[in-house]
Structure 1
Amino acid sequence: MEKKTSPAGGNVGSRPRRVLITGTAGFIGFHLADLLLSEGFHVYGYDGFTDYYDLELKRRRHEILLRHPNFDASTAMLEDNERLWEAAEAFAPDAIVHLAAQAGVRYSLENPRAYIDSNVVGTFNVMEAARKLNVAHLLMASTSSVYGGNEAMPFAETDKADLPLTIYAATKKAAEAMGHAYAHLWNLPTTMFRFFTVYGPWGRPDMVPYKFVQAMVEGRPIDIYNNGDMYRDFTYVGDLVRGIRMLMDVAPVCPGEQTGTVPGDSLSPVGPFRVVNIGNSDKVRLLDFIDAIEAELGIKATRNYMPMQMGDVTATWADCSLLNRLTGYRPDTRFEDGVARFVEWFREYNRDGSH
């Protein structure tokens, strides 16, 4: 592996060239794999192809990745520890990026067990594989939902995150706690990144941008919760995966081994473990986001204002200064530009009328 000096006060990290990514048929995993392949990485994908949403969309993403000679993949569940270990051992990755999960805040109210199976048991299996293979860096996805009932914003990594409002958030917080324990016990460099509201081309049909655009194109009303008094840190998917890519080169070390200090660092005092926000550092009103969709589509939405949903929060807003200090990178895509790219993709993807 190539050695690289980080801009974060002299930390020397490693640049892995063989990366196992869980969830490569998913929205974020697909984009990350595509980015790494374009940079010459060898990527192995591991995805369960669950039917939580349209399987055709997942197949189409994987078809694109499989055109690349440096990509291979397995179709199996995270809970299948034997299959996961066989794939990981055979590929022998330098790094693992764990993105696969049972997603969706609202679905966790209907089927909480799926979240325990995938996000807790599955994550444990990934950590065990990383430990056995002694990978240079384990990176795992968390979520802004772990901030839960916190009211002070923007959310910073050093804020307490002990008030999850849903089982989804609780399982992601559990993954962070397990990751810290493994980093401490086995000296396993581990970075947890907390996503905020991610959108863009190839996005999930259960998320707001896709749901709103599809409904408006089909002439159906859109449901707007909390009567529109909602704010989100909308993060363009290209910015998100670029942030992950940059963090891959900044593996955390034990505090005694660190050269220099990073202001506001979330580095654990007892192991090579760090939490990093990846967001756009901008609190956008949901109604402004809808206005941008209307402008891009040339369609006025029929707005169905509704009360707040159980387990939801009124606002998310990321403090991403730590990401910038560690990597020199700061996501900056304007939501109007991101919406335009999403709508362009949506029209292209649905042009043949089969979706």
Structure 2
Amino acid sequence: MKHILRQLILTTLCFGLLYGVVLGFTFLVIPDPPRVGWLDLETSSTTPYRTATKHFFLARDVLDVPDQKVLLIGASNTLVGFTQRSVQALVPCAKVSNLAIGSANITELRQLVDLVHDVQDEGARRSNTFVIGIWFGMFADTEKRWPGPDRHHGDTDLDVERYRYGFYRRTPAGPVAVLPPEWLRAGVLLIRPYLLMDKMTRDVTIGFRRIVLGRQPKLTDAQRETAVMSEQAKSDALIYWRQNMGETNEISQSQAAALQDLIEDLLRSGEKVVLADLPIPNWHGRASIYQPGYAQAVENIFNHFSGRPNFQGLKMADLDGDKDYVDEVHPKPHLARVWASRLASVLTPLACPARTATDPEGTLQKRFAPAPD
């Protein structure tokens, strides 16, 4: 018995030593990103986390700071339309994070907000200003958006990350934390070898995934500026979004109600909210069966919160020029700069009231005026 126990202890020590060596090696290969109090998920592919959902889930504790924070949430058009660097330059009084996740619906936005709150104390929460970018593509029921065989039915991309490393466990009532939020950094430290293996696998197979899965390299800003959608591409886009909305004929009213509840909860907790109705190209708005119902639902939400303290709405329906978009949703870089300016015009007085009060009269309005066509 003593011999078995001795061998068990030696084996454990050897395994621990080996794991420690591998762990130390990971810091040489994938250095820990600086903890600067903000996140930019547009840069996720350059971090040890590689994907936006993993980047957010494992690094979100950097948002537990008392500084004024602007947290941009939404789908991929929020990611490219309100770039972190553009908004940060226009709103220097706050730490700006772009937490937008591609293909997100309102349910996933709620999950994201809850995960941010999990790692923040009361002081950090009260200095949050959430910018919620929305468009009709986000109003699809979760079970219809993610029905695929690659995950548990109805799991969002954030749910996948909750369960991936055992930080959460699945229960009939929903995900339950196994690792307390205050231990998140320790948990991430322990799984660094797995992050390294994931990074190496992704780097080695990038060519294979592009060929087999049809994934195209990310376009440069210059390529995005010159992109033109063909009529066939427009037709394909309409089919794609009908499938992505679950083959329904209208947006999900439960998702609209979830958005209203999310905003209500944020305002009641003392946080600030900017709701941005993101434009799409004119041809897409006219051709989509979802746009009319979406427009009515958003108008109802704007009316519901009109006049509420700490709430601002942003509409940009005039920015719908077909030639200003890369595809059916995403703005070209020159239009994204206009989006950022429009956002800053309503965001700065909300997130930075002291700066607005001391700014020379008319300066902010001139600075944030829309660029000429």
Q: TM-score, normalised by structure 1?
A: 0.32
- Structure with greater helix share of residues: 2
- Structure with greater strand share of residues: 1
